[in-house]
Amino acid sequence: MITTITLNPSVDRRYVVQDFQVGNLFRTHQFEATAGGKGLNVARVIKQFGEDVLTTGFIGGKNGEFILEQLTEQGIKNDFIQITGETRNCIAILSKDVVQTEILESGPKVTSEQIELFLQKYERILQDSSVLVASGSLPEGVPESMYYELIIRAKKKGKPFILDTSGSALREGLNASPFLIKPNKSELELLMNRPIESEEEIIKAAKEISQNGVEFVVVSLGSDGAIIIHKDLGYKVKIPKIEVKNPVGSGDSMVAGLAIGLYKNYGIEDMLKLGVACGTANAMEIGTGQIRKANVESMFKNVKVEKIKVLNSLK
Amino acid sequence: MITTITLNPSVDRRYVVQDFQVGNLFRTHQFEATAGGKGLNVARVIKQFGEDVLTTGFIGGKNGEFILEQLTEQGIKNDFIQITGETRNCIAILSKDVVQTEILESGPKVTSEQIELFLQKYERILQDSSVLVASGSLPEGVPESMYYELIIRAKKKGKPFILDTSGSALREGLNASPFLIKPNKSELELLMNRPIESEEEIIKAAKEISQNGVEFVVVSLGSDGAIIIHKDLGYKVKIPKIEVKNPVGSGDSMVAGLAIGLYKNYGIEDMLKLGVACGTANAMEIGTGQIRKANVESMFKNVKVEKIKVLNSLK
């Protein structure tokens, strides 16, 4: 089984307000609420692809109940730690010309007792999981070393761990050398603390990270595909032109594809192709973290992988 | 007991985002969710004043559970009809210079079976209620004659009915001659379908409505107090200068004061004074539909009522 970890899930509330502007009152019939947070997007894509997936993390309040009910309806297993605070809302307002305005609540505070309970649950979850995926930000109260801790424990049991986060949560997590990370270009810039423009600079930065023991550094580049460093090897994955309906969640969908490829023991090139195919299939749908398996399969055939030259940046 | 009817309640979600603008992403630690809808504001003020109050209407989903739990915590009795849809959210974003941007969901659809169940419940509630207050809009599926129906049934049992709504729901309700209505100036203009500027025009319009059998026509005028027509008598209520913290909910608080005055058999002038005192006390608080009883009592002493001359507009 693949397990996705979402420590700070959310209810994503999406409103369509054509003429949205500050200072007015708008009534809308177009709104929806979905179980959100990057790790839940990953889980939804894995499930839509047809694989078994377990979700875990911290959850609370009415929003927590809503999320668990929605996951259960979608056949996604869930085993969260119940907290006293209310799981956050993320508000997205879509207005004309696909302008998106977002308000993200900070989320509830997690106590050290709840963290301890999660770690106990995590040990049990590790037994049954073949691949672990952790995505997104850390809620208040959770130390920035949390992902480090989770990666170390997974490694002790020989389970590969995919970490998809940013900022200091990513920086600290990297100290435990996760199996795979998937920064986009701006996350890579933030991590390296320098501007990264050209393909050469991307490769150089990814190589630097990889030399600290990260098996796969997958840099997602939107419609330009991805650049991947694995030990001394480099790959470039290119995607065919598609009609983009909604690119939000494509990064999460790519992570889902990589996790499935890893879980199913795909060869390196096929794993990378599946990741990029899932990300692309998501962009073809209106929904965030939505794919059609038929689209993934057709993209998988059309995605091209080529090896690229990687100079050892530390030599 | 006073009963407030809220057919389309909401969870009011309030965000403080100083530099809010369209097209960006904002993270905020300042947010709160409260049981909302005008009738629930009225109930909260009645309870804060120390009187017993029952709330009723249609409620559903996780938001419905949240509202019922919050009402119960606040000691406010509740007896709603459970519906299958989700009770709506009303999003308010407060940005600099007290700019308010609002997004109101349309709310769930109510079925004819649920309306029938509500009417059965209403008959039982009428037995135990001395004063009825109905506030706000009608949810989808509820006919515009709904308030008409509720007023007629209350009248059969000799129970006074306060109607605080607008547009066609108010227009239809007026056909049943409720005991009291409380339009503000713009609601009065919408109702009369003509611009209303001067005090004379307000009095004339209120008198026209009153002649159709409405005992009290209370026109709320914000910091200018209120003008009231009761049969052949006219009153003007003036309020002292106060420091306004948040005027939102002052109309609902005024309705609460009027309902309490009516319930406690106050004389006309004292009832009007209590209404205006509650409205003013609400403007002195940050919270919407919040009062301090001490402020109401001090305002009650400072509010001035004077009789005004009313010409019979139909003569």
Q: What is the mean pLDDT of chain A?
A: 94
Alpha helices for chain B (secondary structure H): 38-49, 61-73, 112-128, 146-156, 167-174, 185-192, 199-210, 250-263, 268-283, 293-302
Residue B299 lies in a domain: yes
* A215 in the same domain as A279: yes
Among A12, A52, A252, A270, the one annotated catalytic: A252
Residue B225 lies in a domain: yes
Contact B182, B162 (CB under 8 A): yes
How far is residue B154's CA from residue B151's CA, in Å, rounded to a whole number? 5
**Quick check: B312 pLDDT over 80?**
no
* A194 in the same domain as A116: no
* A289 in the same domain as A202: yes
A93 vs B contacts (CB less than 8 Å): 22, 103
Contact B66, B33 (CB under 8 A): yes
The chain A residue lying nearest B31, using CA atoms, is A105
Return the pLDDT at A289: 87
E strand or H helix at A19: none
Whether B102 sits inside 8 A of A17 (CB atoms) is: no
ipTM for the assembly: 0.84
* A94 in the same domain as A220: no
Residue B280 lies in a domain: yes
Contact B129, B263 (CB under 8 A): no
Task: Supply the CATH number for residue B296's domain.
Answer: 3.40.1190.20
Q: What is the mean pLDDT of chain B?
A: 94
Rounded average pLDDT over B209-224 = 95
DSSP annotation of B130 reads S
A15 vs B contacts (CB less than 8 Å): 91, 103, 105
Q: Which of A10, A13, A27, A96 to mutate to test the interface with B (most CBs of B within 10 A)?
A: A27
How far is residue A136's CA from residue A16's CA, in Å, rounded to a whole number? 25
Return the pLDDT at A313: 58
Whether A28 sits inside 8 A of B105 (CB atoms) is: yes
* A55 in the same domain as A112: yes
Find the chain A residues whose C-beta atoms sit closer than 8 A to any C-beta of B. 13, 15, 17, 20-29, 31, 33, 62-63, 65-66, 86, 89, 91, 93, 95, 99-106
B13 vs A contacts (CB less than 8 Å): 89, 91
Residue A139 lies in a domain: no
> Model confidence over B98-149: pLDDT tens digits?
788 999 999 999 999 999 999 999 999 999 999 999 999 999 999 999 999 9
Whether A15 sits inside 8 A of B93 (CB atoms) is: no
How far is residue A187's CA from residue A251's CA, in Å, rounded to a whole number? 12
Rounded average pLDDT over A188-200 = 94
For A216-230, b where at least 16 C-beta lie within 10 A, e where not — what string?
A: bbbbbbeeebbbbbb
Annotation says B224 is catalytic:
no
Return the pLDDT at B286: 84
**Quick check: B311 pLDDT over 80?**
no
| Partner residue opposite A93 with nearest CB, options B33, B86, B103 | B103
Give the up-direction half-sphere exposure of residue A244: CA atoms within 13 A in the CB hemisphere. Answer: 14
* A50 in the same domain as A130: yes
Contacts of B173 (CB under 8 A, 6+ apart): B134, B147, B148, B151, B163, B165, B181
Q: How confident is the model at residue B247 (pLDDT cuts 50, 70, 90)?
A: confident
Containing domain of residue A99, as a range?
A: 1-21+30-134
Whether B63 sits inside 8 A of A63 (CB atoms) is: no
Residue finishing a domain among A104, A134, A164:
A134
Q: How confident is the model at residue B315 (pLDDT cuts 50, 70, 90)?
A: very low
Cβ-Cβ pairs closer than 8 A, A with B, add up to: 81
Rounded average pLDDT over A308-315 = 71
Interstrand relation of A226-230 and B31-36 (parallel, antiparallel or unpaired) = unpaired
* Strand partners of residue B10: B36, B88
B33 vs A contacts (CB less than 8 Å): 86
Q: How far is A61 from chain B (nearest CA, A)?
A: 9
Whether B29 sits inside 8 A of A89 (CB atoms) is: no
Rounded average pLDDT over B47-63 = 97
Whether A15 sits inside 8 A of B102 (CB atoms) is: no
Q: How many domains does chain B have?
A: 1
Whether B95 sits inside 8 A of A66 (CB atoms) is: no
Residue B108 lies in a domain: no
Residue B219 lies in a domain: yes
Rounded average pLDDT over A59-86 = 97
Residue finishing a domain among A79, A107, A134:
A134
Q: How far is A103 from chain B (nearest CA, A)?
A: 5
Whether B26 sits inside 8 A of A103 (CB atoms) is: yes
Distance of CA B23 to the CA centre of its chain: 35
**Quick check: A179 pLDDT over 80?**
yes
The chain B residue lying nearest A100, using CA atoms, is B23
Return the pLDDT at A315: 46
> Model confidence over A220-271: pLDDT tens digits?
998 899 999 999 999 999 998 988 888 888 999 999 999 999 999 999 999 9
Residue A301 lies in a domain: yes
Whether B66 sits inside 8 A of A66 (CB atoms) is: no
- Which SS3 state, helix, strand or coil, does residue A25 take? strand
Among B52, B128, B232, B252, the one annotated catalytic: B252
Q: Which of B8, B105, B138, B248 to mutate to test the interface with A (most CBs of A within 10 A)?
A: B105
Residue B232 lies in a domain: yes
